[in-house]
Structure 1
């Protein structure tokens, strides 16, 4: 199953991947929905909306076009609530720091590709001191389409100066796995919220629960000279 040759770059989604925070996003979205008089179940945010830009998600949630000012207001209301919920729990996913250091030491180019707003990226990446690991951070403002479109991952590959086929993506959501596969990249599912079987069905080449233990074949692919 292990493709070759060895990847040259690793691209990480942020929410649900570098940090186990998706349940707090879902809580904030459900609270916003109820405040707007909408009955939107948590599962819809977990499966359908995960990885989408707020500019795409809110019109889909409301079922109508949303003016720029209203969109900005609703998005900030939700994101502020999410940060308040998650702040006491802010922590990297198990093994994340060690894997990032190991990848850098092995010469990988590293990037984040996340539809999360700029303030949320700063909250996590700077709050945990993870930003120095990454040569580039690609956000929603850098593309016109969120996941499952491949735009975020393709933009990250361009920034790193590598072909998409030389990239491996770490991603927790179905939309993200679909985006990675559409970009022509290896896809590693991180099952912080979505079950292993669902990630595999979406096209994940491997599935991991965290970064502390990698499948042997995948570890050999990444670190053939050191394993």
Structure 2
């Protein structure tokens, strides 16, 4: 049976990381925080926004307040990105080829349903996915492997038969925690930041389903997660 493919959304289907960072930076300015949003996302991208926001305060913030900040950030992001929405080069062609080759395909993201729809329905990408898993479908976000484990279960695929496409270091770690292999998309962090992906691509013009099968043969088992990468101290970012 062909492998199953599980795609993260932000930074993978779309190259939106600069707009995400700008939205966070505008929010931090309003809150009087000096945190560098670009550096923050290089380390924490892939986590739910409320979890990212927890790391920038030196005092406990109620969950309700964090959700309000996350909503404000989401509004800023959508305003900045509204006219810029476009898929990563080569994505549709790759997805069409993967489906034609018999791959099962899922979306596994930390975003809520309305944010997922804002991207994949606007770009007419939902037709490619057999399964869509978002924030509301799992108890724990990345770097835990729940998102990808749920996606695999819904696809009817074993973890060892799944390939995750991720742009974030914590997302790569989540794939390994789920017992899966990973292709890194270097849209927001340098290739050297990743632990042990099958390959690192800039966009989907650099990959074919046939090449993916060759890469799987070269790495027959999923790497073990690197605890140091997944459990860094992120509290002192400025």
Fold conserved between structures, TM > 0.5? yes
1:134 aligns with 2:134: no
Secondary structure in structure 2 of the residue aligned to 1:62: coil
1:77: which partner in 2?
72
Deviation at 1:217, TM superposition (A): 7.6
1:193: which partner in 2?
188
Deviation at 1:119, TM superposition (A): 1.9
Deviation at 1:222, TM superposition (A): 7.9
Contact 1:178 1:203 in 2 (8 A): no
Query: Cα–Cα, structure 1 residues 25 and 35, in superposed 2: closer, same or farther, change >3 Å?
Result: same
1:182 aligns with 2:171: no
Deviation at 1:30, TM superposition (A): 1.1
Q: What is the rounded CA distance, in whole Å, between the counterparts of 2:70 and 2:209 in structure 1?
A: 41
Runs of 5+ in structure 2 lacking a partner?
A: 218-238
Contact 2:148 2:174 in 1 (8 A): yes
- Relative to the length of structure 1, the TM-score reads 0.88
2:231: which partner in 1?
none
In the TM superposition, what whole-angstrom CA distance separates every residue of 1:41-98 from its partner, at most 9, and x where no partner exists?
1343222220111232222222444334322321111001101111111100001001
2:199: which partner in 1?
206
Q: What is the rounded CA distance, in whole Å, between the counterparts of 1:113 and 1:26 in structure 2?
A: 21
2:43 to 21, 41, 48: 48
Contact 1:189 1:204 in 2 (8 A): yes
2:84: which partner in 1?
89
Deviation at 1:220, TM superposition (A): 4.3
Q: What is the rounded CA distance, in whole Å, between the counterparts of 1:195 and 1:171 in structure 2?
A: 13
Aligned residues: 217
Q: What is the rounded CA distance, in whole Å, between the counterparts of 1:69 and 1:198 in structure 2?
A: 33
1:66: which partner in 2?
61
1:114: which partner in 2?
109
- Relative to the length of structure 2, the TM-score reads 0.84
CA RMSD in angstroms, aligned pairs only:
2.1
2:221: which partner in 1?
none
Contact 2:149 2:159 in 1 (8 A): yes
Return 187-196 or 47-56, whichever deviates more: 47-56
2:140: which partner in 1?
145
Contact 1:112 1:137 in 2 (8 A): yes
1:125 aligns with 2:120: yes
